[in-house]
Amino acid sequence: MDELMDFDEVLASFDPTLGLEVHVELNTATKMFCACDNTPGGEPNTKTCPVCLGLPGSLPVVNGQAVESAIRIGLALGCSIAPWSRFARKNYFYPDMTKDFQTSQYDEPICFDGHVDLEVDGRTYGIEIERVHMEEDAGKLTHVGASGRIQDAEASLVDFNRAGTPLMEIVTRPIGGLGAKTPEVGRAYLAHLRELMVALGVSDARMEAGNLRCDVNISLAPKGATELGKRTETKNVNSLRSVEDALRYEMRRQGALLAAGGTVTQETRHWHEEGWTSPGRSKEQAEDYRYFPEPDLVPVAPSAAWVEELRATLPEPPARRRARLQDAWGFTDLEMRDVVGNAGSLDLIDATVTAGASPATARKWWLGELARRANEAGVELAGLAITPAQVARVQALVEAGTLTDKLARDAFDGVLAGEGDPDAVVAARGLAVVSDDGALGAAVDAAIAAMPDVADKIRAGKVQAAGALIGAVMKQMRGQADAARVRELVLERLG
């Protein structure tokens, strides 16, 4: 186990410099260089063709949709868009890479020189984006053996379904001056990217599914030094929490090393979920990728007019939108945190409010009743078979007195079961509240006849006993009686 220095001591002696490389898998319909289905999963090697299998003779063709997504990402990160950029070949062997080179952008990326402002604990931190470039993902290896790790595998299975998935790499410039906030800013940056990708609709941005993968670079320099220290690159950190933890760990590990008079080896490191890093490939055997312009592809040259068209499609920046909605809805910070913390609920509540519901009721249904059902069904909130407009309609029926909260839940059942719109469900299931005196009166009379002793008590002035009769009527009417009117009728008859 590595020696670790106390975090505060690290900061007392060293200035950390942070750098983040984030890979985002795009959710385009087809792959980066061929027409294969780009949706995740499926039986291994079923979503492949000669191009993504790299068969002799096959050639790539750039996916226009991916270029569009790359430009929108760049614009949302405040980048300039290159009027002319090229793909390059990055030559190296890896068993899941079909051509033994990766088609990627090297010295001519499509987006460059961006800027992102992050707010952490009330302070704003500026992050400079060096570049956003396009490349393709590799296939997936499964190591078959006792431990599932490559070291003692009996065999490795290759699934090329993922090979050729469009991948955007977003690279920051070195970020210094963050001090003790370094790990939190790293985390906030990744959270920001995740949110942005979802808002842009370009990626599912699910870290656990590998849609968003982060390589975390950190170096320490003695306080006041002008040169940066040797950095390590912790690969594929795949949760927000892990980004923060990996940074904290590496700072403490490097601090202990340097304080003891040692040096940091420039290397890649692996992140272990238990909260530590271990050395990976050492940069001593630095690979020479022998980059050169990809001769099978023509340059990417988006017109200025198209770029401006795409700029017009950018969504409101997520942080600004959150602040605007919280203000408009009058939610407390705590309430807003719940809304933001529940994947997709902000959009759903926003749409429900737009469809006419009050923010409070929209929030109540989505984070209460519907969140519970999504949870039971094991799906995302947005995956439920109900639209914001339908939720707003149910709420409107409640406010009109047609449904009680309990009946509203029955109405949701019907909509989720695919029985149609709320009105159709209410009609088909006969859910509407009954306030017609004829039907209610008959039920009240029947209840009085069935419970003479209760009736006597009420006649004797014990008005609070009416509850039992109201309950009996409600039961008889399967919950659809207008409780207030039933009470009036009971008291009319026995008063």
Partner 1 sequence: MSHAILTATAADLGARIAARELTSVEVTRAFLGQIERHDGRVHAFLHVDAEGALAQAAAVDARLDAGEVLGPLAGVPLAMKDLFTQEGVPTTAGSRILEGWRPPYSATVTRRLLDAGIVILGKTNMDEFAMGSSTENSAYGPTHNPWDLERIPGGSGGGSSASLAAFEAPLAIGTDTGGSIRQPASVTGTVGVKPTYGGTSRYGVIAMASSLDQPGPCARTVLDAALLHEAMAGYDPMDSTSIDAPVPPVVEAARSGDVSGLRIGVVKELGGEGYAPGVEQRFTEALDLLRDAGAEIVEVSCPHFDYALGAYYLIMPSEVSSNLARYDGMRYGLRVGDDGSRSTEEVMALTRDAGFGEEVKRRVIIGTYALSSGYYDAYYGSAQKVRRLITDDFDAAFAQVDVLVSPSTPTTAFKLGERMDDPLAMYKSDLCTIPSNMAGNAAGSFPVGLAPEDGLPVGLQVMAPPLADDRVYRVGAALERALARRDGGVLTDQIADRWVGEAGQEA
In whole angstroms, the minimum distance from the beta carbon of 101 to partner 1 comes to: 6
466 phi, psi to nearest 5 deg: -55, -30
Residue the block writes with tokens 């923060």:
244
Query: 19 or 60: whose CB is closer to partner 1?
Result: 60
| Whole-Å CA distances, 380 to 329, 339, 383, 385 | 23, 14, 5, 11
Binding segment for partner 1 (CB under 8 A), chosen from 53-61, 115-123, 190-198, 239-247, is 53-61
Cβ burial of 93 (10 Å; 0-12, 13-18, 19+) is: exposed
Provide CB contacts within 8 A for 245, sequence distance 6+: 183, 275
Taking CB under 8 A as the rule, does residue 60 contact partner 1? yes
Contact, 269 vs 235, CB < 8 A?
A: yes
Q: Are strands 292-293 and 276-282 parallel, antiparallel or unpaired?
A: unpaired
Q: What is the DSSP string of 117-144?
A: EEEETTEEEEEEEEEEEEEE---EEEEE
Q: Which residues are registered as beta bridge partners of 227?
A: none
Q: How far is the CB of 108 from partner 1 (least distance, A)?
A: 14
Q: Which of 72, 86, 99, 393 binds partner 1 (CB under 8 A)?
A: 99
In whole angstroms, the minimum distance from the beta carbon of 345 to partner 1 comes to 42
The reply to whether 54 sits near partner 1 by the rule CB under 8 A is: yes
- Minimal distance in Å, beta carbon 178 to partner 1? 32
Q: Is 110 in the site for partner 1 (CB under 8 A)?
A: no
Min. distance of Cβ 94 from partner 1 in angstroms?
10
Nearer to partner 1, 97 or 129 (CB): 97
Q: Please tell me whether residue 290 binds partner 1 under the rule CB under 8 A.
A: yes
288 binds partner 1 (CB under 8 A): yes
Specify which residues 125 forms β-bridges with: 118
**Max Cα–Cα distance, the chain, nearest Å:** 99
- Cα distances (Å, whole numbers) of residue 150 to 145, 147, 153, 210: 8, 8, 5, 19
Q: Which is nearer to partner 1, 1 or 286 (CB)?
A: 286
Q: Which member of 27, 28, 85, 98 binds partner 1 (CB under 8 A)? A: 98
How far apart are alpha carbons 24 and 134 in whole angstroms? 10
Task: Check binding of 100 to partner 1 (CB under 8 A).
Answer: yes
Residue count, binding to partner 1 (CB under 8 A)? 28
Q: Is 107 one of the binding residues for partner 1 (CB under 8 A)? A: no
Distance, CA of 115 to CA of 174 (rounded, Å): 13
Q: Which is nearer to partner 1, 153 or 343 (CB)?
A: 153
| The binder of partner 1 chosen from 47, 89, 269, 457 (CB under 8 A) | 89
Q: Which stretch binds partner 1 (CB under 8 A): 194-202, 268-276, 295-303, 324-332?
A: 295-303
Could you list the beta-strand ranges (E) of 337-485.
none
Q: Does 29 bind partner 1 (CB under 8 A)?
A: no
Report how far residue 447's alpha carbon sits from residue 441's, in angstroms, rounded to the nearest whole number: 10
Shortest gap between Cβ of 100 and partner 1 (angstroms)?
4
If one asks whether residue 62 binds partner 1 (CB under 8 A), the answer comes out as: yes
CA neighbor of 486 nearest in space, from 438, 451, 444, 431: 444
Residue 411 is a binding residue for partner 1 (CB under 8 A): no
Helix (H), strand (E) at residue 453: helix 452-459
Residue 88 or 264 having the CB closest to partner 1:
88
Q: Is 295 in the site for partner 1 (CB under 8 A)?
A: yes
Closest CB to partner 1 among 295 and 378?
295
Residues that bind partner 1 (CB under 8 A): 49-50, 53-62, 89, 91, 93, 95, 98-101, 288, 290-292, 295-298
